[in-house]
Amino acid sequence: MSFWKRLFTGVETTTDSDSVYDRIVFSTNREIDLYELEELCDAVGWSRRPLRKVKKAIEHSFCVVSMYNQSNDFKHLIGFARATSDHAFNATIWDVVVHPEYQGKGMGKALMEKIIDELRAEDISNITLFADPHVVDFYRRLGFVADPEGIRGMFWYPE
């Protein structure tokens, strides 16, 4: 079993004293420390959003996945994603983020696979998202298709 696979399954923890990783765990609990989430979003340079709105968005999301690096009793938020849904056919994934220190190691892929598993377990078959231009290939690798059959995303913003 590979090093990262062991981390994700929690079968074994690393004993490498230079490593910043201990054990990677996922949670679908909505009781998220909003300040920790804000720190994570700050770390990737996202604009700050009012915490009361972030709290509301999380409360009203269909599914929330947090990814933690857990060491003994301490766990540190290193990844996050959430999805909204009509609870029957469609879901849209939002706010996919992995802390820069943990990027490029398969964490984003594991996070996406986890949220897709959660949605598939609820029999949601149409999963969409809005990709920033620099991450289109990240989502393509996970099986997402841009503009299927020419369908285009359209947006309306207040003037």
**Which residues are the active-site residues?**
139
Q: From 26, 40, 35, select the one nearest 78 (Cα to Cα).
A: 40
Gap between the Cα atoms of 131 and 109, Å rounded: 14
**Closer CB to ligand COA, residue 75 or residue 99?**
99
Q: Mention every residue, 6+ apart, whose C-beta is less than 8 A from residue 85.
A: 62, 63, 91, 92, 119, 122, 124
Q: Which residue's Cβ lies closest to ligand COA? A: 108
Q: Are strands 90-98 and 23-27 parallel, antiparallel or unpaired?
A: unpaired
**Closer CB to ligand COA, residue 30 or residue 105?**
105
Fill in the per-residue mask, 57 to 96: x = in contact with ligand COA (CB under 6 A), - = not in contact. Answer: ---------------------------------------x
Is 108 near ligand COA (CB under 6 A)?
yes
Question: Interface residues with ligand COA (CB under 6 A)?
Answer: 44, 96-98, 103-109, 131-132, 134-135, 137-138, 141
